[in-house]
Amino acid sequence: MIVKILLILLLTFGTATVSFADQFQINDFKTCEAAVNIIKRKPYLVSYCSQCDQQSIQVWKVKDAVITSDDGENFSVTIIGRRVYESLELFDRGKYREPIKFSFAKAPNPDDLWFAEEIDLAYIYIPLGSRSFDNLAKFIGLKPNIHVNTIKLPMDVST
């Protein structure tokens, strides 16, 4: 009996923890269209999952953004871009702090810096001010569960 209860608790809370990580990865078409229209006007994005542990902050140069779907009913945004900068420090959930120190993004093969990646709108930040990047999901009217609303880049990071 105790094993059944523990199993139920594990499955319940384990599923809830996993679902926090993917808040707005799958959306309706209109939401994805709004996100893509904004992203296409912004040459740089910041990627950071504030609900995750041991996460770096990355600055991406955007080449394109497209809407994708596996079934024609659920849609995602895919970014085609290049990782340009990455924070030197990894952050745990709720432990984000500025200033952030960055280095140029590195990969064993420089071609690996280019990517096509399906994004979660809750963890993408768009430039809205001087060196200031605001949360994309909030900007388009969604209500993400995040710990960081705005990320300010230091002067030595060129965007």
For Cα atoms 20, 39, 46, give the angle at the middle one, nearest 5 degrees: 55
Using the predicted structure, report yes or no on whether residue 121 has a pLDDT greater than 70. Answer: yes
Total number of domains in the chain: 1
Residue that has been written with the tokens 């024609």 in this structure: 72
CB 140 within 8 A of CB 31: yes
Six token digits for residue 12: 């319940």
Domain annotation covers residue 84: yes
Domain annotation covers residue 159: no
Six token digits for residue 105: 């993004």
Residue spans of alpha helices (H) in 22-86: 29-39
Domain annotation covers residue 157: no
Residue that has been written with the tokens 């030197």 in this structure: 88
* pLDDT score recorded for residue 111: 86
**Res. 129 pLDDT band, cuts 50 70 90:** confident
* pLDDT score recorded for residue 21: 57
Is residue 132 classed as helix, strand or coil in its secondary structure?
Answer: strand
Using the predicted structure, report yes or no on whether residue 106 has a pLDDT greater than 50. Answer: yes
